[in-house]
Chain A
């Protein structure tokens, strides 16, 4: 007999057998949190209509008709808050038997930032239609300023070396923090606080849960084989005009078409973990639809659509060539190539009713080739064509561009190593952990900076070196936790954009970036002696002028309350190269007050 039995001799009965739970054991817990982010700058999000850099700015037209083009000043709105949210999380955990357990988490968010910041008044912060679901395809529901979902809804089965997790779940692989080299199973949902939450919390609130089965078989003490099958779920970007929207709101993105094509697809993954001679080793392979997706021009639809083109008229489009080029540069797109793709790859301007007009305009603007379907132009001619289109007298007025998001199938292969170095006590190598992660994606498709239907295809290599250490600088304080990370990506930037769009000057074809992109991250954490306080500093740079610095503190007030105060500071060299360009608006201080129950 291997279990404990409590036997009351007086009553001569078995009170309980602790080896086998005969009745379900349920636990309920939760958290209520207020989250407020206050801007430390007057800058508004330039990707939104309200923060557009050209609101009220008269721009001299370079089109065929002289004059100025002005985006209405009335679109400019401002405010001091980026977030004003209340979050409720409820957890229900049940142990059904010794082998089976179930876990649920319901997450509800209400962000009333539109009530305190005019720029977000009545804007849609959460609702995104994917298929028949307004919560971006996930288990849950969403409205303009609220969302309610079930990020956790799974059953665990464990018997001996076998473990199965069945249901809606996140899968996180790899050991690098923040850098997603091996963490390739799930996409990210960036609707709430985008990537600006506490850096040390990584992506736990963002990784997109999905229905699936994850299984692990422990072959030996430190060797286990793991596999998963999981329904495809895309990454979710903040909506147009939401506080942290990263896509120019002059675009309309068709999320539905691409999603419908792959919504029934499944992702598969296999991972082997073991240890040889004190070196931890992982090897993995994943077949998936890239959750981040790729974008290309698509034919505009609905009210205002110009038939056979990716453009639609309205009031929230681009008003001038200068604005076009500026936002192309901010988004690491090719403004000139983007125009040519739009003109040469759609029937409306190649064989349709606008073919002649486009060809005429191209010729009149000095394009090197004005043949419909083969129009070629340099910067000046492209600017002329654009302004002629945007001029209400000669063209259509402001134009919205339509994009479609697609999710190509791809294979990701990789491995990871880790080793704990055991140097002399108190030396730099004393318990220093070194990690290396690498992933390789052959024939990976990237958004073409021209937004052409011909995606860029490259074999992408992504790797990271990580050094991690606790070091005690003082006997009076607990050890300082220090992490240093370097990540290299061969063909894309931090956000997964092709490097062909980097080195981007407005109005010019991007020079691109050779030799890949590199990022350095440093994390420091210093707890107080009782761990009630923790002081954090996270730093990220691309060494091209982009910086993200996040100092902050967590205060565990008592068993029920916690207060977090952090600041986000972003700085860009504004040189068309770095990751932080356009993100001045996210310089903010955010405060979270959490009540746990």
Chain B
């Protein structure tokens, strides 16, 4: 009888609460989520049914295939963050429920998971607070803290590897809407990342690898439309030391040349109308030691868009929209019950004039992937909201393969929403944008074509 009560419908929540009160973090309920995955490739055994099935969670009132609307959102209000509840109740946002995904290879790139397994236990923080190997060298791939013990480990690991690939070029479309649902601005761009720590294919030549020795990542963004921003391109070079700001190089068509820019202004859009700031990237857009006071403020089940974000039905992977005054404010989004989300609070200690006082980030405890972010202004009011959807690019009938024949895993769509002004920026990863820039991953040409100073000049107009 005691056993039945222990694993009853509220067991998971009670465990989260008790651990929170004890100040402990042990991911998983019935056992370590990571160790369960390492043993079986699946995290199912780490959680009771109540945290794996929306039917069990809602006592049968909702099931996969149902749509969460303003009429039934009250049934899952404790599985959502406050901004999504507001969006559903007041702005007509809808979420389609799907079955919980438990196979971790569908929730993260296989190569990243393999590196995490291979390198488990080899990470530590050095005197400056950076993640290094036990012998003090730069990290060697995968998540250094897959079974985290505190909030800093979660954030440090995620900042270390945003896209979880060695290199990526995301073809991106962006739509900026005013509160009336009018698409005011529309951009097409490319976003490139190269991680110095995710050496999954060893495709870079030795000279480049040597040059990246003290770097964490190279990241660029360039715009291909509309005409007035065509050719604008920026390159961020991240030092490995997370106490330092990245170097920022920019090409502006007006200057016709690459110039070095200050990089501390990270709470502003790069282009008119956008609600996406540098600081927002992957909910960890700044060096993680320029933020501080990381702490876990909540744990529990959550509705996250961790699968099914890829729209294979569209030739260019473009997504459909709904909600808002004109039916176009939100991406159509599939969500599933994530058995355990870790909510981490952080404050911008390195940015005295930031308009943000703190942010809360929801991480999937199994993959340590950020699912949503809420930031607060200096008066403590909710300021901006950021949520993303992810996907394995394999829906059973079509798939996108990466090196090694594995299906591609990545983000698929993002909302960046200003709660105070009602402005929305919708961003989606597409197959290709103008100029022949197509999404690609772990391609050695990404470095030469998108992540060098001369590439900025070449991408410019």
| A interface residues with partner B (beta carbon < 8 Å) | 1-10, 15-16, 18-19, 21, 25, 27, 29-31, 91, 93, 95, 98, 101, 103, 105, 152, 156, 158-161, 163, 165, 170, 172-175, 177, 200-204, 207, 216, 218, 220-222, 224, 273, 280, 418, 420, 422, 425-426, 430-433, 468-470, 472, 474-476, 478-479, 527, 529-532, 556, 558-560, 562, 594, 596-597
A6 close to B431 (CB less than 8 A):
yes
Q: Inside 8 A of A530's CB, which chain B residues have their CB?
A: 269, 272-274, 423
Point out which of B224, B228, B272, B404 has the most chain A C-beta atoms below 10 A from its C-beta. Answer: B272
The interface bits of chain B over 287-327 (1 if a CB of A lies within 8 angstroms of the residue's CB, else 0) are 00000000000000000000000000000000000000000
- Listed by A's residue number, 14 A-B pairs whose Cβ atoms lie within 8 Å are A2-B201, A2-B441, A9-B397, A9-B398, A18-B439, A21-B436, A91-B230, A161-B448, A177-B255, A280-B260, A432-B262, A558-B185, A559-B273, A596-B227
Q: Inside 8 A of B398's CB, which chain A residues have their CB?
A: 6-10, 15
A470 close to B262 (CB less than 8 A):
yes
Q: Inside 8 A of B9's CB, which chain A residues have their CB?
A: none
Q: Whole-angstrom distance from the CB of B285 to the nearest CB of chain A?
A: 16
B227 close to A425 (CB less than 8 A):
no
Q: Whole-angstrom distance from the CB of A24 to the nearest CB of chain B?
A: 8
Please report whether the interface of chain B is mostly helix, strand, loop or mixed according to DSSP.
Answer: loop
Q: How large is the interface on B (under 10, 10 to 19, 20 to 34, 35 or more residues)?
A: 35 or more
* Known A9-B399, A420-B260, A527-B268: A2·B184 in contact at CB below 8 Å: no
The complex places the Cα of A224 from the Cα of B254 at a distance, in Å, of 23
Q: Which of A2, A95, A173, A472 is within 8 Å of B403, CB to CB? A: A2
Q: Inside 8 A of B351's CB, which chain A residues have their CB?
A: 425
The 10 closest A-B pairs by CB, nearest first: A221-B211, A95-B436, A25-B436, A18-B438, A172-B256, A431-B262, A472-B353, A478-B268, A531-B272, A596-B227
B396 close to A9 (CB less than 8 A):
yes
A2 close to B254 (CB less than 8 A):
no
The complex places the Cα of A544 from the Cα of B457 at a distance, in Å, of 38
* Known A2-B201, A19-B440, A172-B255: A478·B265 in contact at CB below 8 Å: yes
A29 close to B262 (CB less than 8 A):
no
Nearest A residue to B432, CB-CB: A18
B225 close to A29 (CB less than 8 A):
yes
A19 close to B255 (CB less than 8 A):
no
A204 close to B255 (CB less than 8 A):
yes
Q: Inside 8 A of B431's CB, which chain A residues have their CB?
A: 6, 16, 18
Residues facing A in B408-422 (CB within 8 A) are 408
Q: Whole-angstrom distance from the CB of A401 to the nearest CB of chain B?
A: 37
Q: Inside 8 A of B438's CB, which chain A residues have their CB?
A: 4, 16, 18, 21
Residues facing A in B146-184 (CB within 8 A) are 182-184
Q: Which of A156, A163, A422, A559 is within 8 Å of B185, CB to CB? A: A559
Nearest A residue to B260, CB-CB: A418
Nearest A residue to B446, CB-CB: A2
The complex places the Cα of A518 from the Cα of B6 at a distance, in Å, of 82
Q: Which of B185, B404, B443, B453 is within 8 Å of A19, CB to CB? A: B443
The complex places the Cα of A170 from the Cα of B350 at a distance, in Å, of 40
Tell me, yes or no, whether B335 is within 8 Å of chain A by CB: no
B262 close to A422 (CB less than 8 A):
no
Q: Whole-angstrom distance from the CB of A139 to the nearest CB of chain B?
A: 17
The complex places the Cα of A30 from the Cα of B226 at a distance, in Å, of 9
B458 close to A156 (CB less than 8 A):
yes
The complex places the Cα of A211 from the Cα of B461 at a distance, in Å, of 16
Q: Whole-angstrom distance from the CB of B70 to the nearest CB of chain A?
A: 28
The complex places the Cα of A101 from the Cα of B444 at a distance, in Å, of 19
Q: Inside 8 A of B134's CB, which chain A residues have their CB?
A: none
Q: Whole-angstrom distance from the CB of B452 to the nearest CB of chain A?
A: 6
Tell me, yes or no, whether B378 is within 8 Å of chain A by CB: yes
The complex places the Cα of A38 from the Cα of B224 at a distance, in Å, of 34
A220 close to B226 (CB less than 8 A):
no
Q: Inside 8 A of A202's CB, which chain B residues have their CB?
A: 254-256
Nearest B residue to A217, CB-CB: B454
Q: Which of B207, B228, B397, B452 is within 8 Å of A10, CB to CB? A: B397
Residues facing A in B253-272 (CB within 8 A) are 253-257, 259-265, 267-269, 271-272
Q: Whole-angstrom distance from the CB of B451 to the nearest CB of chain A?
A: 9
Nearest B residue to A421, CB-CB: B262
Tell me, yes or no, whether B247 is within 8 Å of chain A by CB: yes
A221 close to B268 (CB less than 8 A):
no
A222 close to B211 (CB less than 8 A):
yes
Q: Inside 8 A of B22's CB, which chain A residues have their CB?
A: none
Q: Which of B184, B230, B245, B445 is within 8 Å of A98, CB to CB? A: B445
Point out which of A10, A222, A469 has the most chain B C-beta atoms below 10 A from its C-beta. Answer: A222
B260 close to A31 (CB less than 8 A):
no
A4 close to B402 (CB less than 8 A):
yes
The complex places the Cα of A478 from the Cα of B267 at a distance, in Å, of 8
Given contacts A6-B400, A103-B461, A221-B211, 16 further A-B contacts (CB under 8 A): A4-B408, A4-B440, A5-B400, A7-B398, A19-B440, A29-B227, A91-B461, A165-B458, A172-B256, A204-B256, A216-B457, A218-B448, A469-B262, A472-B353, A475-B377, A532-B272
The interface bits of chain B over 219-250 (1 if a CB of A lies within 8 angstroms of the residue's CB, else 0) are 00000111110100000000000001101000
Q: Inside 8 A of B443's CB, which chain A residues have their CB?
A: 2-3, 19
B257 close to A1 (CB less than 8 A):
no
A201 close to B458 (CB less than 8 A):
no
The complex places the Cα of A200 from the Cα of B212 at a distance, in Å, of 34
Q: Which of B208, B224, B226, B264 is within 8 Å of A559, CB to CB? A: B226
Nearest A residue to B351, CB-CB: A425
Nearest A residue to B185, CB-CB: A559
Tell me, yes or no, whether B117 is within 8 Å of chain A by CB: no
A204 close to B254 (CB less than 8 A):
yes
A430 close to B211 (CB less than 8 A):
no
Q: Inside 8 A of B452's CB, which chain A residues have their CB?
A: 218, 221
Q: Whole-angstrom distance from the CB of B286 to the nearest CB of chain A?
A: 12
Tell me, yes or no, whether B352 is within 8 Å of chain A by CB: yes
